[in-house]
A = this chain, B = another copy of it.
Amino acid sequence: MNDGTAPPRRIRNIAELARLAGVSAGTVSRALANSSLVNTETRETIQALARLHGFRPNQMAKRLRVKETKVIGIVVPLGHERRQHLSDPFFMAILGHLADALTENGYDIMLSRVIPDAEDWLERIVDSGMLDGVLLIGQSNQFEAIERVAAWYRPMVVWGSHRPGQVHCTVGVDNRVGGRLAGECLIGAGRRRLAFLGDTAAPELSERYLGLCDAASAAGLAPPIKLETHLASDIMAEEIAGHIERIGAEVDGIAAASDLIAMHAVRALADRGLAVPGQISVTGFDDLPLAEQTIPRLTTISQNITAGARAMVDVLFERIAGTAAASVEMAPTLIRRDTA
């Protein structure tokens, strides 16, 4: 009655609309699905009626019936990190790309940040009946749990490291090579006393450390110091500051486990009057868009997040379709900028 458009009375289900249209529920369902089984005329009548009342079929019911939810779970396990780091820029970057790719293909996204305390956390997610597939961002320290589930659940792809013989399907860069690249860069810049800044509980990060060791030993240097750092950004800052304070002049080259850590390190070094790259060189890891905008610009190892996200989605779809698509391992590259 308001502006020509008729009563905004809300319709709650197909049955009601069917009654209104004088047909059966089945016919309405087919009409809304644009099935050619229903007469063009009635089809249009019904669609018009639906539009008029702003009716949209309940997705929950539909999905229950057709056993396809069109929802993909994106899960971030925070095993070695009680504190949230959903706001970690790397995660955000990859999430953005995943969201793009999934949305394009008509899938919705269910986001879970999980603190794996319940032991069967992954089973619970995978088995909820709400998801057609799962993308795991990072292995954290949950390698076992992931393997266990991967043994019977196919549509799952994990961002992280690939260990020979593992069951679950991963997409990621060769972290060991990445670590080596960082080391070679530092050594090439004349640095001899190296340190690794990060948390080695996660396999990805531990591989990077090993790569750094490879480079050091190839150059005949002592194994790099390991400086543990949590990933939650608030404590990270002071932890890093503490490390820098402590190791000060003992170290002249820092390979950070991520760009974010590298940024904090550069900041902390500046606070203590240590010039980067004048006195100390620093490398990051990830090559986030941000890395190019800092002062000084970060020298870093590129993960090609865009391609990685795309690969994860492609592989996932293949697995949903039934193909047993294999893991993807990409080559990291060194991006040389200002800090090393």
Interchain nearest-CB distance for A48 vs B (Å): 15
Report how far A127 CA is from B55 CA in the complex, Å.
Answer: 8
The residue in chain B whose Cβ has the minimal distance to the Cβ of A268 is B293
User: Count of chain A residues with Cβ under 8 Å from any Cβ of B?
Assistant: 57
Interface centre among A63, A112, A237, A294 (most CB of B within 10 A): A294
A5 at the interface (CB under 8 A from B): no
Interchain nearest-CB distance for A267 vs B (Å): 5
Report how far A267 CA is from B292 CA in the complex, Å.
Answer: 9
Known contacts A109-B111, A110-B111, A295-B295: does B130 contact A60 (CB below 8 Å)? yes
Residues of B within 8 A of A234 (CB): 289
Residues of B within 8 A of A87 (CB): 89, 92-93, 95-96, 289
Encoded as 1 (CB less than 8 Å from any B CB) or 0, chain A from 248 to 267 comes to 00000000000000011011
Residues of B within 8 A of A97 (CB): 84
The answer to whether B128 and A99 have CB atoms under 8 Å apart is no
Residues of B within 8 A of A63 (CB): 60
A270 at the interface (CB under 8 A from B): yes
Residues of B within 8 A of A8 (CB): 152
Encoded as 1 (CB less than 8 Å from any B CB) or 0, chain A from 62 to 94 comes to 011000010100100000000011110101110
The answer to whether B109 and A263 have CB atoms under 8 Å apart is no
Interchain nearest-CB distance for A292 vs B (Å): 8
A window 120-145: CB within 8 A of B: 120, 123-124, 127-130
Residues of B within 8 A of A112 (CB): 103, 108-109
Interchain nearest-CB distance for A132 vs B (Å): 11
The answer to whether A99 and B127 have CB atoms under 8 Å apart is no
Report how far A8 CA is from B151 CA in the complex, Å.
Answer: 12
The answer to whether A59 and B130 have CB atoms under 8 Å apart is yes
A window 257-297: CB within 8 A of B: 263-264, 266-267, 270, 289-290, 292-296
Q: Which residues on A are within 8 Å of B, measured CB to CB?
A: 8, 10, 54, 56-61, 63-64, 69, 71, 74, 84-87, 89, 91-93, 95-97, 99-100, 103, 108-113, 120, 123-124, 127-130, 152, 233-234, 237, 263-264, 266-267, 270, 289-290, 292-296
